[in-house]
């Protein structure tokens, strides 16, 4: 009989590979299990996590301009749709949006969100896709004609990718979305160490709970023996790479079993669980351009350096995802 750990083949490989590496790391997507998705949603309301608040305000201010660029009957595709607060604002501002395709790994949230959007926007066709948007996916075709396709990718999630991965992902989105499509990309360009450390290690402890939950997740899915009390969440500003990192630091020299294998930790040894690049605006704009997107505008919140870019796709053949 196969064990639970053997069944989870791909994540197990990622986990073991990461835990044997130096420094140790875990794939960041593991943070977003059902509990993690809930905790992340809670983070977006935390006072110290300025990103969501600032982006919501920027989006609200720029929505009329965005709606004018997108035009009527749009098909909106949103990788990593989450709870959909920004989506609702966008859909309400667009002129008769036709189709909405949310893509997410959190099944309960995806289903609940789709159900409530169908009630809130009765004319909108909602076509949820359950899956990891960094992997090849099939996007359902709309059943009625639509106007422009808009890929909505706010929330600084692009910062969670390595720069080369970000380029590959944005290129894939350009292929998927087609020649006349648009993207609305939101990212945080803040490089203020103090603000970032506070945002990623908030005083309410929500980010710490979110980070530690990854160990509980690995305990269940990979038959591991992490004692959460023996690890501590830490936010670290990596100035050289211009990124904020989340570390889980071992409070003791200890050995943990993961899928039957012993993994040793020194006192103070970290596991890197997530990083978010805080690219300078010009850097991210260059990544967008080299991924097949023509930047049309840049909207900025100068107080926190939150940016949104509407950009238009250039024509390329489809690769990676299909419709």
Instruction: Quote the strand ranges of the chain, DSSP E.
Output: 24-25, 75-79, 99-104, 125-126, 129-130, 149-153, 182-188, 231-238, 243-250, 254-258, 261-265, 270-277, 293-295, 299-301, 306-313
Q: Is residue 265 part of the contact set for ligand AVI (CB under 6 A)?
A: no
Provide the β-strand partners of residue 76: 100, 150
Angstrom distance (rounded) from CA 238 to CA 272: 12
Site string for ligand AVI, 281-310 (x = CB under 6 A): ------------------------------
Q: Could you please report the per-residue DSSP string of 201-256?
A: S-TTSHHHHHHHHHHHHHHHHTT----GGGEEEEEEEETTTTEEEEEEEESSSEEE
Provide the β-strand partners of residue 153: 185
Q: Is residue 79 part of the contact set for ligand AVI (CB under 6 A)?
A: no
Angstrom distance (rounded) from CA 163 to CA 285: 12
Shortest separation between residue 274's beta carbon and ligand AVI, angstroms = 5
Question: Residue 113: what are its φ and ψ, rounded to 5°?
Answer: -65, -45
Angstrom distance (rounded) from CA 318 to CA 121: 30
> Residue with structure tokens 């106007």?
147
Per CB under 6 A, the segment of 5-13, 83-91, 151-159, 253-261 that binds ligand AVI is 151-159
Which of 43, 77, 181, 196 forms a contact with ligand AVI (CB under 6 A)?
43
Q: Considering CB under 6 A, how many residues would be counted as binding ligand AVI?
A: 12
Shortest separation between residue 36's beta carbon and ligand AVI, angstroms = 10
Nearer to ligand AVI, 99 or 109 (CB): 109
Q: Is residue 190 part of the contact set for ligand AVI (CB under 6 A)?
A: no
Residue nearest to ligand AVI (CB): 276
Per CB under 6 A, the segment of 63-71, 149-157, 173-181, 254-262 that binds ligand AVI is 149-157
Contact criterion met (CB below 8 Å) for 320 and 175: yes
Cβ of 156: how many Cβ atoms within 10 Å? Answer: 22
Which of 100, 200, 265, 309 forms a contact with ligand AVI (CB under 6 A)?
200
Q: Is residue 155 part of the contact set for ligand AVI (CB under 6 A)?
A: yes
Nearest to 242 by CA among 152, 170, 305: 305
Site string for ligand AVI, 221-250 (x = CB under 6 A): -------------------------x----
Nearest to 190 by CA among 49, 295, 311: 49
Site string for ligand AVI, 205-224 (x = CB under 6 A): --x-----------------
Q: Is residue 99 part of the contact set for ligand AVI (CB under 6 A)?
A: no
Per CB under 6 A, the segment of 109-117, 153-161, 168-176, 217-225 that binds ligand AVI is 153-161
Per CB under 6 A, the segment of 7-15, 71-79, 150-158, 171-179 that binds ligand AVI is 150-158
Nearer to ligand AVI, 52 or 171 (CB): 52
Provide the β-strand partners of residue 259: none
Binding residues (CB under 6 A) for ligand AVI: these are 43, 51, 155-157, 159-160, 200, 207, 246, 274, 276
């Amino acid at each position: 009989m196969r064990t639970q750990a053997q069944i989870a083949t791909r994540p197990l490989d990622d986990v073991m590979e990461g835990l044997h590496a130096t420094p140790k790391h875990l794939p960041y997507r593991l943070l977003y299990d059902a509990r993690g998705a809930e905790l992340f949603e809670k983070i977006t309301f935390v006072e110290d996590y300025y990103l969501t608040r600032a982006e919501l305000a920027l989006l609200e201010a720029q929505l009329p301009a965005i709606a004018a660029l997108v035009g009527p009957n749009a098909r909106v595709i949103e990788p990593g749709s989450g709870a959909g607060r920004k989506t609702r604002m966008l859909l309400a501002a667009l002129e008769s949006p036709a189709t909405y395709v949310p893509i997410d790994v959190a099944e309960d949230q995806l289903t609940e969100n789709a159900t409530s959007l169908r009630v809130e926007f009765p004319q909108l066709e909602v076509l949820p896709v359950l899956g990891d948007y960094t992997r090849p996916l099939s996007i359902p075709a709309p059943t009625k004609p639509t106007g422009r396709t808009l890929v909505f990718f706010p929330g600084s999630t692009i910062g969670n990718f390595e720069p080369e991965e970000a380029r590959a992902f944005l290129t894939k989105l350009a292929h998927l979305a087609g020649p006349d499509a648009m993207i609305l990309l939101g990212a945080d360009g803040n490089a203020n160490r103090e603000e970032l450390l506070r945002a990623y290690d908030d005083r309410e402890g929500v980010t710490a709970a979110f980070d530690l939950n990854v160990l509980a997740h690995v305990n269940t899915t990979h038959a591991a023996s992490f004692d959460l009390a023996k690890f501590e969440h830490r936010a670290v500003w990596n100035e050289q790479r211009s990124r904020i990192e989340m570390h889980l630091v071992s409070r003791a020299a200890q050995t943990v079993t993961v899928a039957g294998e012993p993994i040793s930790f020194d006192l103070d040894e970290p596991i890197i669980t997530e990083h978010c690049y805080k690219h300078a605006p010009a850097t991210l704009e260059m990544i967008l351009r080299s991924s097949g997107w023509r930047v049309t505008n840049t909207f900025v919140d100068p107080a926190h350096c939150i940016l949104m870019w509407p950009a238009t796709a250039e024509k390329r053949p489809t690769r990676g995802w299909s419709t």
